[in-house]
Amino acid sequence: MNYPIYLDYNATTPCAPEVIEAMIPYFGMHFGNSASKAHPYGWLAENAVEMAREQLAQLIGAKPKEIIFTSGATESINLGIKGTFEAFLGEKQHYITCKTEHKAVLDTFSEIQKKGAEVTYLPVNSQGEISLEELENAILPHTKMICLMWANNETGLIHRIPKIAEMAESKQIILCTDAVQAAGKIPVSTKGVHLMALSAHKLYGPKGVGALYVRHNHELPKPLAQLHGGGHEKGFRSGTLNVPGIVGFGKAAELRSREMEAESQRLEKLRDTLERMILAIPDTFLNSSQFNRLPHVTNIAFAGLEGEELLKQINQKVAVSSGSACSSISPKPSHVLQEMGLNADLGRASIRFSLGRSTSNDEIQQAAEWIESVVTRLRKLK
């Protein structure tokens, strides 16, 4: 198949060749169940899982015992939020999040609201930033959790998590962060963080495996399990572990620890080149600040064009998206861009470009030229 140029790395990344190589033996020769403690098949699988736990812990600055493997970040987020709600059951509970969070967070908070939780959804400015003053003013005596993503999946905006961690720590409030788009792309740290959701397929690992960092040795309660049946993963998440996937996750984390700094510098230059070329097209606008964002992401609005047709035409030669992959089935404008103040038409005519490990300078040049030709052609037809 003649694939288009791929600039949708925030939706998913291809497994790195080294990751595939590391995984293959655990589908066949080393097929054991890591919970089988009585024979070498299980021992070898368990050792592989523990090595991956260490590799992932090193990437985010955690202890291996604080890494809980899950089926993906959505499960991790559900475990963190619903598990915390259940840990405080019987108490008055208040949570703080943001209107531009991923749907995995927003929908999960909607569920615990149905069960009696109070939730404050902080607004954002035109750059997608929250006010730390508004965040502090939103804290109530019964606030149990602040939940904010490390970096936005649509615009690349990076929230000031270290400052927010200090605030949460001073108030004895659990801090939960969706670090899916940040981990492996920029340095992240667990300092002051109690819960952190991660996903393998966003950092060149396989789909179907994720993790939740759960802070140990702290007086605030840990989340209660949402899956029961065997007490796997220290009782946080029952179920037979996806050993090949976990091995791949660990290998991907190891690769990102090595490559991240140089790769982010390379991609930032390519992203800036793409951005300059596209923004030279009349009536195009950057949907974020030029500062304090992920190095490989840009989100650009194309005024005066019908969003669905624009995306369809661009995707003939350049694979991009209008926002989160989880929301791309909906024709509605991005909730993130709406909350930043974009009108519905401009929101629908906005495209996220996200670069990755295989992106080359030639691809950036070709992509920009194709996008300009599409936009010019569509505007002539109007």
Catalytic positions are 326
Smallest Cα–Cα separation from 247: which of 32, 37, 61?
32
Distance CA 196, CA 149 (A): 9
Residue found under tokens 């300092």:
191
Task: Tell me the H-state helices in the chain.
Answer: 17-23, 40-60, 73-87, 103-114, 132-138, 161-171, 243-279, 307-314, 335-339, 344-348, 361-381
Residue (of 242, 237, 207) closest to 222 by Cα position: 237
- For tokens 């615009």, the residue is 155
Other beta carbons within 10 angstroms of residue 29's beta carbon come to 10
Three-state DSSP class for residue 187: coil
User: Rounded CA gap, 175 and 161, in Å?
Assistant: 9
Coil, strand, or helix at residue 104?
A: helix
Alpha helices for 91-242 (secondary structure H) = 103-114, 132-138, 161-171
